[in-house]
Amino acid sequence: MKKPKQEPQKPKRSEAQRRADKAYQERTRAEKNATQRENFKNIAATFRRDEAERIAEIFKAHGVKPSEVLRGAAAALLDGEPIRTEAAPLIAPAPVENDSTTSGEE
């Protein structure tokens, strides 16, 4: 029988290297967190789970990210263009059930 080829394994890091990695991460973590808080801000919207999933599907189908949609809407408003807004939930339509009592068949 033929033995399966063993793929080359990447070299293991020594205990000293792992300790040095951990120390470096701890030193830089606070700085990274401060920079993140200082330079970035979230704009969030909360949706019901089914609506959020539907919206995510639409964005994925069109290859856009939520941040791109918000930037586009903000740019349109800055240019004086109206944007479409929806107050009602945007959810997938409920599936139509085949019910023999409503089809007119007896």
| Dihedral sign (CA 12, 17, 19, 23) | negative
What is residue 6's predicted lDDT score, i.e. its pLDDT? 74
Q: Any idea of the CA torsion for 72, 35, 29, 14, to the nearest 10 degrees?
A: 70
pLDDT above 70 as % of the chain? 81
Cβ atoms within 10 Å of 35's Cβ, excluding its own: 11
- Around 49, how many Cα atoms within 13 Å sit in the side-chain half-sphere? 0
| 56-66 pLDDT tens trace | 999 999 999 99
Q: Is the pTM of this model over 0.85?
A: no
Report whether pLDDT(102) > 80: no
What is residue 100's predicted lDDT score, i.e. its pLDDT? 55
- Collapsing DSSP states into helix, strand and coil, what is residue 41? coil
Among 26-30, 58-62, 73-77, whose mean pLDDT is lowest?
26-30
